[in-house]
Amino acid sequence: MEKAKGKVISVNESLVGVENTKGAVMNGEVAYIVLEDGKRLKAEVIDVKPGKRVFLQVFEDTSWMKIGDEVEFTGLPLSVRLGPGILGTVTDGLQNPLYELVKKEWFLERGMVVAPLDESKKWHFTPKVKTGDTVSGASVLGTVPEKMFEHKIFVPFSLTEDYIVESIVSEGDYTITDTIAVIKDGKGQTKSLNMTFDWPVKQPMPFHKRSVPKETLPTGMRILDALFPIAYGGTACSPGPFGAGKTVLQHSIAKHSRADVVIIAACGERAGEAVEVFKDFPELIDPRTGKSLMDRTYIVGNTSSMPVAAREASVYLATAVGEYYRKQGLDVLILADSTSRWAQALRETSGRKEEIPGPEAFPMYISTLISAFYDRAGVEILPNGQKSSLSIIGTVSPAGGNFDEPVTQATLLSTGAFLGLSRELSDARKYPAIDRLDSNSKYPSLISEEEVKYLKDVLKEGKSIASNLLLMGERGITNEAYIAYQKSELLDAVFLQQNSFHDVDGVTNPERLRIMFDLIKYIIDAPLHIETKDDIRSHFNFLRQAFLDWNYLKLDDPKFEKQKTKIINLVKQKANVKENV
Amino acid sequence: MLRKTYENIDSIGRAILTIEAKDAHNKELAEVIYPNGQKAFAQVIALNGSKVTLQLFGGGFGVSTDCKIRFLGHPVQVGFSDQMLGRVYSGNGQPIDGGPQLVSDMIRVAGPSINPVKRLIPKNMIRTGVPMIDVFNTLVRSQKIPIFARAGEPYNRLLANIATQTDADVIIIGGVGLKYDEYHYFKERIEDAGSKSKTIMFVHTHRDSIVEGLMVPDLALAVGEQFALQGKNVFVLLSDMTQWSDYLRQVANAQDQIPANQGYPGDLYSQLASRYEKAADIEGSGSLTILGVTTMDDVTHPVPDNTGYITEGQFFMKDGYLELFGSLSRLKQQVNNKTRDDHRSIMNAMARLLSEAEERVKAQKFGSVKDDYSLRLLDYRKTFQKELMDPFRYLELEDALDLCWEILATHFKKEEVGLSSDLVESYWPNKEDFKILKIQNA
């Protein structure tokens, strides 16, 4: 079939109008615009209009394009190359590996083309089928080891009929472009398969069988794991004004969460932040696997100064890769930072197309797109009965920090946990600055439901006393109220707050979370007999200091138990004062 | 190659012109030729069939339908050579200091961004001598950070101070919408500080067209980036990016773009980001640091709001003071553990106590603050403001840290400051031994 052709008829930043001169065009297909110097700029059809006019959004800078430049349509939707070799790499939003691009140019010049996956590397392939077997889409042809996982080589998911294996290579080392199998359909047509296949990024991969998220995904952050948990296969959003700690939160989760694979979609954010991840992670050892953190990580870096149209592609690219590793039987976590930049990219394009704008000039369909994106997360039951999952945590950057805006609102409707970041808390240096009372999660916590309620009640009471304290001063409230207030402050300071930059305090595993919760509950429940407010304040200062020192001790440190005893003794002393008198 | 001129101008607006023409390239530079032979620059910003939209560097005033347009066959470029140091240029890259035109290499403006893998993780502190910056929100080489302030605050003075008090190899000043006296002030300060030979100015004042103002950051950053690629540590000062955004809004409006928030175009974030993201510490090369100014009344206004999401923190100036709350350096964690062992701890302790004091300020209005500890907190707050928040007080970092200890020792008991016993042992000063805090001591 001959490919369609066209000519440029208008240029407005990343939106290019094309006259379709030959063949049929498909909405969503990839096209290349050929500039007069021969450079080919990748673009995507986003609209087909009367009079054989087509709108393209171009993924690269459109400088020096002119009317009449040739356009070649590919007939194929925007796709991701799936196969071994994705983990541990950093690509842009169109799957160009950044470490390969830099070998050509220091700057991200347009029109550079690099193979998305390393085609020279040899993988050790072990076949799992034999000649004569019947296979179809998603059947496993064999496996190769990738980092710490056994990477399954599938029959491409798009092949839905039954095929007979005509030939399969024997165990050995092959590159991803080598033919490893030939299969034949019912009509006798054969197909050669290698270790990779392409999948359209915007099309959700069908679940074999879908289940619901109901198991906590430990993140190592106490406020999340105890109060506002994330689940395997669940979704969460963290909206917040700038400077409230969204990125530190995301990085901390990327480092410490108990997922098998973490995909970071740096969408329209600072390049420096992505750099921190991909330069730091290779040096950091994941204590659970003993391997470099980068081995389980894939980074899509479409940073804020890269072409805007590729932002949308970057989010979908990350998701399609996530779905693929879910098919591998793994628990995958996607951190998308920030979905607002993606929405803004859509707004820019929509504006140039002169669509009738919705609220704050965002396109009307923004909420549908956001919901459909989060719906790609979920728990999947694979044909062999194995459970795997894809979880998504998206940050939202609302204009002016005001959550009452279209992107935040659409996201809230589509996600299962809401981690609202607050400027008030970050100003007071109370990190993570997740609002203790307004945030919520529908997923199960690492502590019991009653215990969650218990913590929330302590915090609520503390907050209401704090407002009385502001109005009436320390002398205006009873000692009992003042003690309740101090207890809630203590809970916040030593349990909910966490120093992400500290090796030990930065991550709390489920076992330690339980120990910490039990101790803080013990302190709050213990009776306390102190006569003056000064002494109460001083008592809690000592307790806070002792608890923080304890937080900085490793679980297996001999001093750990000693420090815990010290805290308990501090509590006991004051509980017993009355009896000693 | 002979370039064709076009005569059929369609429309002329305040900053935009449309014409019927063939073979124009997107972003191509063009000349407007007036009937008397005078010339002005323009740039193609959109193409639609045979209709070409140009943005006029000199504005639309005085352009007539019998002007001619000649496309120049290249995009916007700027000269680059060492001899530019010490010189002053306008927003279209022409010298305005009366000196000679330089023949130099031409480099592209607003080029693509550097591949992130060539970026280094920033890790070198820039000592500015400003206590609120060095101690509390340390500036780091390759950081991009604006001063948020109301119009009328002395932000340009601070900008000039920081640039001249640091060890930058090259300083590039990009002035957008400067009042004439501000331009003059920058020039004088640079000369007084003896920094003229390492400074280049790109200046747009209110008498120049807004399109020239729009060009200033791109020119300044393109030249700065070249110096950085040659291994220099470059400081680019951009004042004021709120005016720049306003010009952006005017041009977008003239193109009938659908506005997003408060009339600003939907791509304000991307536009600001593509400038600020030029800041980088480049592997095997130099660095580019951007200090900007964003004038504002309210931090939720679209310009400071979008800026805050892009830059690596901000310095918040209010009533002539550099505020602690509202200011942020996102990169300080990279460096403030390598200065003096008490730096991080005392920074946190001072901030925590000040935040406690701020609570009391609110409570004081209800008349509920009477206890001794609260009253001392309020005194502490006053001393803090007087001794530390003045942006024009010069102190070496070590002296500033000593001053912090002296302030704590003036107002608090050792056990009240929440610092580890080790640090208190080694740094807690006796009132007789104060080195910096003289007034209280006397």
Are A351 and B260 inside 8 Å of each other by CB? yes
What's the whole-number mean pLDDT along residues B175-204? 94
Closest CB from A13, A106, A241 relative to B115? A106
Instruction: Name the packing angle between helices B372-388 and B343-364 (round to 10°).
Output: 120
DSSP category for residue A170: P
pLDDT tens-digit readout, A8-64: 999 999 999 999 999 999 999 999 999 999 999 999 999 999 999 999 999 999 999
Mean pLDDT of A272-287: 91
Taking CA–CA distances from A344, the nearest residue in chain B reads B266
Direct distance between the N- and C-terminal alpha carbons of chain B, in angstroms, rounded to an integer: 79
CB contact under 8 A, A107 and B115: yes
Burial level of A470, CB count in 10 A (0-12/13-18/19+)? middle
The answer to whether the CB of A296 falls within 8 A of the CB of A87 is yes
On whether the CB atoms of residues B315 and B147 are closer than 8 A, the answer is yes
Residue B1's pLDDT is what? 54
* Greatest mean pLDDT among A351-355, A531-535, B305-309: B305-309
Q: Is A347 on the interface with B (CB under 8 A)?
A: yes
Average pLDDT over residues A406-418: 96
**pLDDT value, residue B371:** 81
Which of B50, B119, B265 lies closest to A275 in CB terms?
B119
Separation of alpha carbons A370 and A408, rounded Å: 10
Give phi and psi for A439, each to the nearest 5.
-75, 165
Q: Does the distance separating the beta carbons of B366 and A472 come in below 8 Å?
A: yes
Q: Residue B270 is nearest to which of A102, A110, A304, comparing CB atoms?
A: A304
A243–B328 C-beta distance less than 8 A:
yes
Convert the pLDDT of each residue in B253-303 to its tens digit. 988 888 988 999 989 999 999 999 999 999 999 999 999 999 999 999 999
Q: Which parts of A177-327 fold into alpha helices (H)?
A: 222, 246-256, 271-280, 309-327
* pLDDT for residue B256: 86
Question: Residue B257 and residue A351: Cβ atoms within 8 Å?
Answer: yes
Q: Do A428 and B355 touch (CB under 8 A)?
A: yes
User: Could you tell me the pLDDT band of residue A581, with boundaries at 50, 70 and 90?
Assistant: very low
| pLDDT at residue A475 in the model | 81
CB-based contact B225:B288 (threshold 8 Å):
yes
Tell me the residue type at B276: Y
Report whether pLDDT(A74) > 90: yes
A580, pLDDT greater than 70: no
Written as six digits, the tokens of B103 are 């023949």
Interface list for B 27-86 with A (CB within 8 A): 27-28, 46-50, 75
Helix (H) or strand (E) holding A34: strand A29-34
- pLDDT of amino acid B441: 44
Looking at residue B439, what is its pLDDT? 57
Q: Is the pLDDT of residue A243 over 90?
A: no
Confidence of residue A469 (pLDDT cuts 50, 70, 90): confident
More confident residue, A351 or A200: A200
Substitution target from B47, B144, B324 for chain A, most A beta carbons within 10 A = B47
The set of residues, in sequence order, having a beta carbon less than 8 Å from that of A284 and lying 6+ positions away, is: A255, A292, A293, A294
User: Whole-angstrom Cα distance, residue A261 to residue B411?
Assistant: 51
- Angstrom CA distances, A30 to A15, A55, A93, A292, B375, stand at 14, 12, 14, 36, 69
User: Is A577 a residue whose pLDDT tops 60?
Assistant: no
- Which one-letter amino acid corresponds to residue A507? V
pLDDT of residue B310: 95
This model of the complex carries an ipTM of: 0.91
B11 has a chain A CB within 8 A of its CB = no
Instruction: State yes or no: pLDDT of A65 exceeds 80.
Output: yes
Report the chain A residue with the minimal C-alpha distance to residue B48: A10
Give the pLDDT band of residue A508 (cuts 50, 70, 90).
very high
Q: Which domains does chain A have, with CATH numbers?
A: 5-78 (2.40.10.170), 86-112+233-424 (3.40.50.300), 123-195 (2.40.50.100), 449-580 (1.10.1140.10)
- Give the pLDDT mean for B96-107: 87
Closest Cα in chain B to A66: B25
Chain A nearest-CA residue for B362: A470
Q: What's the pLDDT at B370?
A: 78
CB-nearest to B118 from A106, A110, A341 is A106
Which residue, among B405, B353, B77, B95, has the nearest Cα to B219 in the 3D structure?
B77
Residue-wise pLDDT tens digits, B409-430 = 999 988 888 788 889 999 999 9
Q: Look up residue B222 and give its DSSP letter.
A: H
Asked if A305's CB is within 8 angstroms of B274's CB, the reply is: yes
Interface of B with A in 302-321 (CB under 8 A): 302, 305-306, 308-310, 312-313
Is B333–A67 a contact, with Cβ atoms under 8 angstroms apart?
no
Q: In chain A, which among 420-449 make CB contacts under 8 A with chain B?
A: 427-429
Asked if the Cβ–Cβ distance from B26 to A98 is below 8 Å, we say no
The separation between CA A148 and the C-alpha centre of its own chain, rounded to angstroms, equals 21
- A1: confidence class by pLDDT, cuts 50, 70, 90: low
Reported as a single tens digit per residue, the pLDDT across A200-239 is: 999 999 999 999 999 999 999 999 999 999 999 999 999 9
Contact B47, B32 (CB under 8 A): no
Average pLDDT, stretch B429-439? 83
Coil, helix or strand at residue A396: strand
CB nearest A304 (choices: B23, B114, B310): B310
**Mean pLDDT calculated for residue range A468-477:** 84
Structure confidence at residue A470 (pLDDT): 83
Q: Do B352 and A429 touch (CB under 8 A)?
A: yes
Neighbours of A430 (CB within 10 A): 18
Q: How far apart are CA A563 and CA A453, in angstroms?
A: 28
Distance from the A333 Cα atom to the nearest Cα atom in chain B, whole angstroms:
23
A72 vs B419, residue with greater confidence: A72
Please indicate whether, in this complex, the C-beta atoms of A64 and B351 are within 8 angstroms of each other. Answer: no
Of A241, A351, A400, the CB nearest to B266: A351
Mutant choice from B45, B115, B372 vs A, greatest count of A C-beta within 10 A: B115
Q: Which residue do the tokens 């050509």 mark?
A: A104
| pLDDT mean across residues, chain A | 94
Rounded Cα distance between A443 and A214, Å, is: 6
Amino acid at residue number A196: T
Interchain pair A13, B267: CB under 8 A:
yes
Q: List b or e across A158-183, with b for residues whose CB sees 16 or more CB atoms inside 10 angstroms.
A: ebeeebbbeebeeeeebbbebebbbb
How far apart are the CA of A17 and the nearest CA of chain B, in angstroms? 8
DSSP letters, A523-545, are HHHS-----SHHHHHHHHHHHHH
- Residue among B22, B312, B359 minimizing CB distance to A272: B312
pLDDT class of A575 with cuts at 50, 70, 90: confident
Tokens of A158: 């798009």
Min Cα–Cα distance to chain B from A93, Å: 13
Q: B286 with B232: CB under 8 angstroms?
A: yes
Kindly report the pTM of this predicted structure.
0.94
Which B positions 371-430 lie with beta carbon below 8 A of chain A? 371, 373, 415-416, 418
The answer to whether A101 faces chain B, any CB pair under 8 Å, is: yes
Q: What DSSP character marks residue A295? A: G
B266 interfacial to chain A (CB closer than 8 Å): yes
According to the model, what pLDDT value does residue B105 have? Answer: 86
- Is the model more confident about B343 or about B437? B343
Chain A partners within 8 Å of B257 (Cβ): 351-352
Distance from CA of B81 to the nearest CA of A (A): 21
Best mean pLDDT range from A86-90, A526-530, B362-366: A86-90
Residue B61 vs residues A126, B17, B24, B58, B66: alpha-carbon distances, Å = 74, 11, 23, 8, 14
* pLDDT at A144 exceeding the cut of 80: yes
Residue B52's pLDDT band (cuts 50, 70, 90) = very high
How many interface pairs between A and B have CB atoms less than 8 angstroms apart? 203
